[in-house]
Amino acid sequence: MPRKTKFDSKYRELILLSEIGAYLHDIGKLSRFFVLSKARGMNVKDFHGQILFLDKNILPPRLKELLFSPLSNFIGESRIKGIDLNISLSHFICAHHGCSRCLKGTPCPFKDKIEKHPLIKLLKTVDHLDASNPANSGKQIPFKLYRDNIFYPETPLPVKRFDEMRKDFYFEVEEFLQRLGTKDIERLNKFVKSASQKYFENALSETRRFGNDITLLDHSNAVSSLYKAFLYAYLFWNKEIPNSFFKVRFRIMKVKDADEETSHILSDVYACCNEIVRSERNGYYLVANFRKNGKFDSFVRGITGKETEFSKANDLSFIFSDKFFGFSPAKIKKHFDSLFIKRVSDIRDGYTEKQAIEDIKKAILFAELRRKESISVKLKSFEKHLSNLNKGSVHDPSNLPKFFKKEREVRLLRKHHKAGISVERIKEKYGWKTSKDAENEIYAYFNEVLSPVRPPSPVEMSVYLLKLYNKYGSYKKVFEEFLIKRPLVPGRVFAIFRNLKKYRLK
């Protein structure tokens, strides 16, 4: 259990303050020019990360000071647990997609190193985790932007007022700062979130159709909640900060009989997690990779006096076991599972489902080939070691336990190497001599199907698909989950329950 020390309070303040930066990281999407940069037939650059520099003449003074002052000014420490606090909240906005389009205009002391800063790396990781990938054919018409309401028809959004809305938000925060300043970080955190809702709900994180169900509000809630959970786990529990979305492991924690006080304790007092949704009786919270009956579980039960349950890692569907707003979880899930993010024909003219499944299979077998090549190298080393132990055991019987242990390891490696499709068959099927021959081909595949998002490592991506295949045992199922269906990312979960609550769907 975390100790209640003065230094721990600095951890809490850092979490609540930097969570504001994570929450506001995409405020530049509340902009007419962002919408134009994503619209059909337009050739406008996307500068949403540079919005504070574009707005330098309209940012009110106290808000500007909050955004551009070092975090250390508010925390009272220049470094906490190895984290340099000389960066500012503005870096969460301007650097979360890198510095290549920087419009600062004056030298930045963090140039070429801000992307390696642990707080910014964490933001980029969780931002990537919440991404969807609709097709470019879903681009909307300039100034005619619609929000997908999941259960209801699309709603037109006031694009022409976006810049005015962003300015109004600035001045609402400015008024708060004039009255109360920055001493109470918890209160500031809560105000920024509440004041932004009416603006962020009417802007989109992704403007292309089929991805336009996640509003800027949903995405901001998801990213800041993930960010908070992992930063808390690092500061208080020494859990490693994930540096790749492939390494992210989170869980959904159900707190039974949760109420407003429960959420206040967890989100504000201890700054460990945010509420996603509350059913008639239970609260659901996004936490780092903590387990039932562990120390964190005991800690939560101790501070809330409530019983808890935990989902499996990264299992957002755990939430749909409850009843919300009088609506059955089975019906919610059934409707969501019928929605798609793109069609096969959106990827390439004439592209068929059969071709798409074959391409998925090729990427999966590429990962399998790499896995077996790695086993072969390890097996060769182990067999050599086994041979040496065998020779040594003749002269020194004390080596026998080591010999038998290594012999078991060699047998297990041989078993894994022989299981499933053979290396030779994969090579023959695709004309590869080694997996190296396939890397460019696999990268080109991911580049096409994930366009316009730059794909991550083809190696990591193919391993991800191999894990999906091992889970489902079907190439077609992997095709549906990876390419066609709307992914159940955290932002989309926030969107589902925002709509259910708003419309009271029955």
Tell me the β-bridge partners of 327: 324
C-alpha–C-alpha distance, residues 439 and 430, integer Å = 12
Q: What is the DSSP letter of 256?
A: T
> Hey, which residues does 98 pair with through a beta bridge?
96
Integer Cα distance of 418 and 333 in angstroms: 39
Please report where in the chains the tokens 């206040």 appear, as a residue: 264
| pLDDT tens digits, one per residue of 281-326 | 899 999 999 988 889 999 999 999 999 999 999 999 999 888 887 7
Q: What residues have CB less than 8 Å from 238, skipping those under 6 apart? A: none
Give the confidence band of 1 by pLDDT, cuts at 50, 70, 90.
very low
Reduced to 3 states (helix: H, G, I; strand: E, B; else coil), residue 45 is coil
Residue 340 CA to its chain's centroid (Å): 20
Say whether pLDDT at 126 is over 90.
yes
Residue pair 379/414 in contact by the 8 Å Cβ criterion: yes
CB atoms within 10 A of CB 433: 8
172 Cβ contact partners less than 8 Å away, ≥ 6 residues apart: 195
Are residues 235 and 15 in contact, defined by beta-carbon separation less than 8 angstroms? Answer: yes
- Percent of the chain scoring above 90 in pLDDT: 69
Every domain of the chain and the residues it spans: 6-203, 345-484
The yes-or-no verdict on residue 397 having pLDDT over 80 is: no
Asked if 48 contacts 28 with a C-beta cutoff of 8 angstroms, the reply is: yes
Instruction: Indicate if the pLDDT at residue 155 is higher than 60.
Output: yes
Q: What is the pLDDT of residue 395?
A: 61
- Of 89-98, 139-148, 250-259, 300-309, the poorest mean pLDDT is in 89-98
In what helix (H) or strand (E) does residue 275 lie, and over which residues does it extend?
A: strand 274-278
Q: Which has more pLDDT, 293 or 73?
A: 73
- On average, the pLDDT of the chain sits at 90
**b/e per residue 205-222 (b: at least 16 CB within 10 A):** bbbbbbbbbbbbbbbbbb
**Residues 78 and 10: beta-carbon distance below 8 Å:** no
Question: pLDDT digit string (tens) for 280-292?
Answer: 889 999 999 998 8
Q: What is the DSSP letter of 310?
A: E
Higher pLDDT, 351 or 115: 351
Asked whether 495 and 319 are in contact (CB, 8 A), the reply is no
For the residues of 393-454, what is the DSSP string, one character each? HHH-GGGHHHHHHHHHHHHHHHHHHHSSS-HHHHHHHHT-SSGGGGHHHHHHHHHHHTTTSP
Work out the burial of residue 126: count CB atoms within 10 Å of its CB; fewer than 13 is exposed, 13-18 middle, 19 or more buried: buried
| Rounded Cα gap, residues 32 and 76, in angstroms | 38
Where is 459: in which H helix or E strand?
A: helix 458-472
Which of 23, 61, 55 has the alpha carbon at shortest distance from 196?
23
pTM for the structure as a whole: 0.90
Query: Could you read off the pLDDT of 338-391 as tens digits, one per residue?
Result: 999 999 999 889 999 999 999 999 999 999 999 999 999 888 888 888 888 777
d(CA 96, CA 73): 22
| 3-class DSSP assignment, residue 470 | helix
Cα–Cα distance for residue pair 406/388, rounded to 1 Å: 11
**Of 83, 203, 307, 499, residue with least CA distance to 75:** 83
